[in-house]
Amino acid sequence: MRTRAAVSLCAVLLLCAGCGTPGAPQPPSLNLATPVADLKAVRAANRLTLTWTIPSETTDGAKFRHRGQTKICRVIDQATIGSCSAIGALDTPANVKTASFASDLPSSASAPSDYATYAVEVDNSNGRNAGLSNQIQVPTANVSSLNGSPLIRLSPDAILVSANITPHATIIEQVLELRRKEKGTPAPEAVAARRVLDLPEADGPASIELRDDTFTWEKTYEYRVAIVASPKVPNGQTFGFDAADSAPQTLVAHDVFPPAVPTGVQAVFSGQSPGQEPAIDVTWNPNAESDLAGYFVYRRRQNEAAESAVKLNTLPITAPAYHDGGVEAGNTYLYAVSAIDERGNQSNRSEEASELVPK
């Protein structure tokens, strides 16, 4: 009997050993959102846009449920925000990862050294929060501006864009930038730039020309001009932004420009050796155009009108020389040369050079 009782007692003790011991009761979650850590700011002209990731957890690791509003905090010309001075608020939605807030910069803080510091606070439904986000310093100075739309035109070797600009706050680093976007590509690229500080001094607006000499003929481009400012803020960082940006203008780089008129045309009689047919060799200075396709040579007799000159070659010749074996003794011939490019643009004819074929 004792053995059976001892076994039963041991079994009870073992069962009790596996039971959990109640601990101290845990306090309920305060439902305070984890402070935002990735607040970012983008300035375009005098408009500022803040973006951030909406907290999904509380400071004690629970899911952030009872959401209130997100306050936008700002101070002027102060390096840090002590307590939130809200300039706006928006609801904090669930099931959304990011949020944004846009507003104009304060017009009262427009001097070259002015700036604003921004942060956000995410409240729960009771209006409580775990503190400010990371803080962003943003320059608020008024800088140079564009006046009207830039003028764009084609030239034989570049696309020229003329912009009218009013320089302002030139102690801040600013660059006038020409941006080009090729049709079918996702983003523009800067193809020319001039520092505003290097512009000619003027009491008022100044017209500045930018040139794109890296374009390709027969392509379609979209051009715009921007003023890019890069001031420093008190935390030592450089804050770059587009202070101005013109509307895009589309241009088809269609080549309608002929090559230069050939120069230095000379005609020299050859064929004086016995049994050699008479001929005249025509030479000229080569053209320098990269898209040159070649030359055409024209000939007429001295007693014929200029309009009657005959084109001697049906296809362009690439060398700056032509051997004319179709001449007759006793005649004086006059030669002119024109140049043609790869797109069929042909120059005017050169000045004529004459030569006599002896009898």
Quick: pLDDT tens for 171-219.
999 999 999 999 889 999 999 999 998 876 667 898 999 999 999 999 9
Among 270, 267, 330, smallest CA distance to 299 is for 267
- Residue-number span of the structural domain to which 51 is assigned: 40-139
Is residue 4 domain-resident?
no
CA gap 161, 153 in Å, rounded? 7
Q: Does residue 159 register a pLDDT over 90? A: yes
Q: Which two tokens stand for residue 55?
A: 């907290």
Q: How far apart are CA 41 and CA 50, in angstroms?
A: 5
Count other Cβ atoms within 10 Å, centred on residue 61: 8
Residues 231, 184 share a domain = yes
Higher local confidence (pLDDT), 345 or 24? 345
Q: Are residues 48 and 117 in the same domain?
A: yes
Query: How far are the Cα atoms of 6, 12, 15, 164 from residue 18, in angstroms, in the given order?
Result: 19, 10, 5, 85
Query: In this predicted model, what pLDDT tens digit does every residue of 93-106 receive, in sequence order?
Result: 998 999 999 999 99
In a domain, 234, yes or no: yes
Among 193, 226, 252, the domain boundary falls at: 252
> Edge-to-edge strand order for the sheet containing 266-270?
266-270, 279-283, 321-324
Cα→Cα distances 256→89, 151, 349, Å: 58, 19, 17
pLDDT, averaged across the chain:
91
d(CA 42, CA 182): 25
Model confidence at 18, pLDDT cuts 50, 70, 90, reads very low
SS (H, E, C) the chain: CHHHHHHHHHHHHHHHHCCCCCCCCCCCCCCCECCCCCCEEEEECCEEEEEEECCCEECCCCECCCEEEEEEEEEECCCCCCCCCEEEEEECCCCCCEEEEEEECCCCCCCCCCEEEEEEEEEECCCCCCCCCCCEEEECCCCCEECCCCEEEECCCCEEEEEEEECCCCCCCEEEEEEEEECCCCCCEEEEEEEHHHCCCCCCCEEEEEEECCCCCCCEEEEEEEEEECCECCCCCECCEEEEECCCEEEECCCCCCCCCCCCCEEEEECCCCCCCCEEEEECCCCCCCCEEEEEEEEEECCCCHHHCEECCCCCECCCEEEECCCCCCCEEEEEEEEEECCCCECCCCCCEEEECCC
- Could you tell me if 91 and 44 lie in one domain? yes
**Domain check: are 162 and 235 in the same one?**
yes
Q: Is the pLDDT of residue 2 over 70?
A: no
Q: Are residues 102 and 199 in the same domain?
A: no
What is the total count of domains within the chain?
3
For residues 112 and 165, state if they share a domain: no
Examine the fold and report which residue of 139, 174, 192 is the final residue of a domain before the chain moves on.
139
Does one domain contain both 246 and 272?
no
Nearest to 264 by CA among 293, 295, 292: 295
Q: Select from 109, 139, 169 the last residue of a domain.
A: 139
Are 75 and 131 in the same domain?
Answer: yes
Residues 135, 156: one domain? no
The reply to whether 35 falls in a domain is: no
**Which CATH number fits the domain that encloses residue 55?**
2.60.40.10
Residue 129 is predicted with a pLDDT of 97
Q: Which of 110-119, 149-158, 272-281 has the lowest mean pLDDT?
A: 272-281
Residue 30 falls within a domain, yes or no? no
**Structural domain includes residue 31:** no
pLDDT for the residue 219 = 95
Cβ atoms 63, 95 nearer than 8 A: no
Supply the pLDDT for residue 274.
Answer: 75
- Domain-embedded: residue 78: yes
| Rounded Cα gap, residues 204 and 148, in angstroms | 15
Q: Which of 198, 195, 141 is CA-nearest to residue 169? A: 141
The whole model's pTM is what?
0.77
In this structure, is residue 23 part of a structural domain?
Answer: no
Q: How high is the pLDDT of residue 27?
A: 60
Residue 139 burial (CB count, 10 A): 25
pLDDT for position 204: 81
Please give the average per-residue pLDDT across 277-286, as a whole number: 96
Instruction: Give the per-residue pLDDT at 60.
Output: 94
Work out the widest C-alpha separation in the chain, in whole angstroms: 156
Residues 293 and 227 in one domain: no
Domain assignment of residue 8, yes or no: no
- The confidence band for 276, taking pLDDT boundaries of 50, 70 and 90, is confident
Verify that 160 and 247 share a domain, yes or no. Answer: yes
What pLDDT does residue 25 have?
A: 54
Q: Give the C-alpha separation, 324 to 311, whole Å.
A: 12
Please compute the mean of the pLDDT values over residues 58-62 and round it to a whole number. Answer: 95
Q: Write down the pLDDT at residue 200.
A: 64
Q: Tell me, yes or no, whether 279 and 314 share the same domain.
A: yes
